[in-house]
Amino acid sequence: MRQSRSLARDLAAIGAIAAAFMVVLLLTESGYYRLILTLVVIWATLGLAWNMLSGYGGLISFGHAAFFGLGAYTVTLAMVKLDITPWIGIPLGALVGMAAGLLIGVPTFRLRGHYFGLAMLAYPLAMLYVFEWLGYQEIALPMKREHPAAWMQFSDQRVYTLLGLGLMVLAMLASLAIERTRFGMALQAIKQNEAAAEAAGIDTWRWKMPAIVLSAGFAAAAGGLYAVVLLTVTPQSVFGVLVSAQALIVCLFGGVGILWGPVIGAAVLVPLAEILNGELGHIIPGIQGVVYGLAIIIIILLAPEGLFWRLRDRFFPVRPQVPDAPAAAPQAAGRDAGRLAATRKPLLVLKGVSRSFGGLRAVDNVSLTVEEGTVHGIIGPNGAGKTTLFNIVNGFLAPNSGSISFDGKDIVGQKPSRICRAGMGRTFQIVRAFPRMTVLQNVTSGALVATRHDSEAEALALWAIDLVGLGRAEAGQTASGLTMRQLRLLELARALASRPKLLLLDEILAGLGHAELEEVIEAIRRIAASGITVLIIEHTMHAMVRLAERFSVLDHGALIADGPPAEVTRNPQVIEAYLGRKWVQRAADRVA
Amino acid sequence: MQTIGVVGMEGAMGSFELFAIDFLQALMAGLMVGGTYALMCVGLGMIFGVMRVVNFAQGDFLMLGMYGAFYVATTLGVLALLGPYAGPVVAGLLAGPIVFVIAWLLHRFLIGRVTGVAALGAEGEGHYAQIILTLGIALVLQNGGLILFGSLPLSIPTPMSRESWEIWEILVNQARTVRFAVAILVAALLYLFLSRTRLGKSMRAAADNPQAALYMGIDVDRCHRTAFALGCAITGIAGGLIASSQSFQPYIGFDFVITMYAGVVLGGLGSILGAFWGGMTIGLVQQMSTLVLPFQLQNTAIFVVFLLIVFLRPHGMFGRSVERT
């Protein structure tokens, strides 16, 4: 969908939304309806802010009221205590919010999934009680008789609406910038599979931090404007659960992960709630909440991902475009092919690597060397510690002891994304594609590491797709609908797109039929021939014998054999631990 | 829920003894309050553990439990029949089945459509839709409660909440003590249900791995429905039990949903035992914090302790992290 939307069209749409808003504003006579319009843009801005972190990045926050409230209180206290005009107060509030985003992000990003969201719930509520305790139960912004405009006080309600509209347009432009750059792609990758994103070289921390800071800044600015418009601030009204809920509701209702979503959500829900309140609230107290709640329930049952996505899928189904032209091979993709045969320098060297889980020694004092330009196989029975070894090598796990050097540099303790950038790609035993992205987008996310510009990344991705043997028609498909063969090739291409020196393949042939197996083996051979060193874990012994030039055998975490295939498969220890006598018998039969 | 202060002990006693009594008093109050919090958290923890759904309406099922107990006690005459001591407890327990039925229906017609098997494979496992749906249900329950029950704060009248036993120098509120005992009993019964019965075991299987459970012939959706209804009923009972000493109105739910989530996350998402101890911890922290902090900062203390524990142990006290690559 990224490729199919032109920038000019998106900008025109933002302009059209702003223009439509102004027309509605001009047609609105009553002050009450003008206030509703102001609230629409404020809540839309908060929804857009929430979307930046939780929509694009998938880090669902239940606590955006923390930023909203800080913005509101910064503006209010600056005006009441320090005589600072909201013209300065709102940017100041945004800065305070951004600082809070940074301070909250640093510890909270250690948490995953629901733990993150629910921990976020705690911040605004802790602040709420602190502000109550400080005695700021209810503060009114003082009316300024002289130069009211200098204090952001206008007799015409519409000026506030325009200010809010300006803020909303700013938030939309920021969202557009996120969506159209690698920032958005990185966040989307994080949302769909954080571990895979990290292994694909996306430094998740580096993208999550700016996302929360930006998000917090806009939420705080919205809070600041809210204080100016309503003229009174209470801890409940700005830090309360309902504020955080409102951010979620407008965004999820309108459509998550897209800049139009929160705007649609706010434009429908805020007037609905207010009008219900005005029309029904005094007849039967509570009926407005019931109707509002029911409206949300019904819409979400009909459109679980929000109105925008439902309407788009219904009326404008999008076919992603994939260029047809063959991609040029990137320069020096392969190492100097002539050099390979002559000298074989060690690329990856493990010395005495161990890792325990409780009392279990999953990897026990393993030392091995992977030489440049080879295909090196690791075999061993289930639970031998093969995948754990991979996780240690690519940085998911830290070894308890031992050293690992890659390309001459010590890599122990580095993050997976950093190791990926140093030239190590990997695939996963359990496929970790980004299910909502197309094949091309999946692979492009892997290419971000190796390129500076997004167009280069796509070219590199196309090259990788060609190399593994996926077709251009397949490249446009969404990953969630792929077959096992396509998923394996996708992961291979994604790892390849980071232009690695060394590729770690974790049981890449598992779950494939015979013909598919051949295809993937061919792809691995092509990759090896292009000069990339391959370290592969595999159970399928027959495939392994055909691929690898050197075997390392793990059993109960320890290395029990290491050498050329012919030597290793005759090793009695290996036969005992892994191959079994039958295999040897069969191999012997075949020779005979 | 202010504890009864220790008054009239000046003179003979030193300040250390005074503090010791205050401390024990707060500890006792924390345990008693913690018992009911633990029961609420167990209800929420079970729903989350089995369904992996963030249910924002949980506090409103607590509210329904309170009103359920109130009307059982007064309109149905349980209070008059069983007297002011046994009456509130029985009414609190009877709130359970009432909430069970409501929650069962809500799951059958609404929540089941975006959770469980229906949500397998949806974006973000369907979390977005679940969150907003439970928020919508919370709004309907709160405001529907306002229409049905009115906004006047109520509580079940019982003399127990004003009477205390005195153990050494420490006053132990009778209502809280009885509530504590009943809460522990209900939690223990739930534990037996989950570990001994066939349905309980299949619920645990469905929680562990819905896909695998499905292939083993377990009706995952039925497990979810039971877990949801039972979890809400347990929280409803906790609400019914505190309805005799806490005045309530239809909007009380949000106050408790936060406390409940703090307890459940503290214990470790997915662990019911963890939820129990998490709730207990919240009660203790809340009451003990009054020793050193102003009363208004009680809840801030809860959140600070909550954040500290979660940062030190990112999967809570009893949570596990199993991730395969």
Highest-pLDDT range among A154-163, A530-539, B223-232: B223-232
CB contact under 8 A, B129 and A300: yes
Determine the Cα–Cα distance for residues A97 and B41; give it in Å rounded to an integer: 32
Render the burial of B242-268: b for 16+ CB within 10 Å, e for the rest. Answer: bbbbbebbbbbbbbbbbbbbbbbbbbb
Task: Yes or no: say if B124 and A58 are a contact pair by the CB < 8 Å rule.
Answer: yes
What's the whole-model pTM score? 0.84
The pLDDT tens digits of the residues spanning A387-438 come to: 889 899 988 888 999 999 998 889 888 888 888 888 898 888 877 777 778 8
Q: Which residue has the higher pLDDT, B304 or B277?
A: B277
CB contact under 8 A, B128 and A191: no
Does B22 have pLDDT greater than 60?
yes
A121 contacts in chain B (CB < 8 Å): 258, 261
In 3D, which of A49, A53, A92, A55 has the Cα closest to residue A70? A92
Task: Write the CB contacts of B188 (distance below 8 Å, at least 6 apart in sequence).
Answer: none
Whole-angstrom distance, CA of residue A343 vs CA of residue A232: 76
Cβ separation A191–B124 shorter than 8 A: yes
Whether B118 contacts chain A with CB within 8 A: no
| CB-based contact, B278 to chain A, within 8 Å | no
Q: What is the pLDDT of residue A342?
A: 52
Write down the ipTM of this complex: 0.83
Radius of gyration of chain A (CA): 29
- Tell me which residue in B139, B146, B311 faces A285 most closely, judged by beta carbons: B146
The predicted model gives A203-226 an average pLDDT of: 95
The C-alpha angle A229, A230, A232, rounded to 5 degrees, equals 130
Stretch A121-128: mean pLDDT:
89
Q: What is the pLDDT of residues A321-360, one digit of tens each?
A: 666 666 666 654 444 444 444 567 888 999 999 998 877 8
Q: How far is B212 from chain A (nearest CA, A)?
A: 16
Burial letters B100-118, b for 16+ CB under 10 A, else e? bebbbebbeebbbbbbbeb
Place of tokens 């890449």: A508
User: Which residues, 6+ apart, have CB-to-CB distance to B245 below 8 Å?
Assistant: B1, B155, B158, B160, B161, B173, B175, B176, B179
- Considering only residues 52 to 81 of chain B, which have any Cβ-Cβ distance to chain A shorter than 8 Å? 52, 54, 56
Determine the pLDDT at residue A1.
40
Q: Which residue of A has its CA nearest to B256?
A: A241
- pLDDT tens readout for residues A264-317: 999 999 998 888 888 887 788 888 888 888 988 888 888 877 888 888 877 877
> DSSP string covering A511-578, please?
T--HHHHHHHHHHHHHHHHTT-EEEEE-S-HHHHHHH-SEEEEEETTEEEEEE-HHHHTT-HHHIIII
- Is B8 exposed, middle or buried, given 0-12, 13-18 or 19+ CB atoms closer than 10 A? exposed
What are the structural domain ranges in chain A? 7-240, 337-423+500-591, 432-497
Closest among A111, A101, A105 to A66, alpha carbons compared: A101
Which fold is adopted by the domain A337-423+500-591? Answer: Rossmann fold (3.40.50)
How many beta-carbon pairs under 8 angstroms link A with B? 155
Which of A111, A121, A296 has the CB atom closest to B261's CB atom?
A121
Q: Do the Cβ atoms of B232 and B40 come closer than 8 Å?
A: no
Domain range A7-240, its CATH number among 1.20.140.10, 1.10.3470.10, 3.30.2130.10, 3.40.50.2300? 1.10.3470.10
Q: Do A296 and B135 touch (CB under 8 A)?
A: yes
Percent of chain B with pLDDT over 70: 90
Query: What does the pLDDT average to over B59-81?
Result: 90
Strand partners, B297: none
Q: What are phi and psi of A576, to 5 degrees?
A: -65, -50
Nearest CB to A300; choose among B133, B144, B316: B133
Please answer yes or no on whether A293 and B124 come within 8 Å at the CB atom: no
- Min Cα–Cα distance to chain B from A131, Å: 10
Q: Chain centroid to CA A181: how far?
A: 13
The pLDDT, as a whole number, for residue B63 is 95
Strand partners, A199: none
Partner-chain contact B325 A249, CB within 8 Å: no
Chain B, nearest residue to A256 by Cα: B128
Partner residue facing B324 (CB), from A118, A125, A430? A430
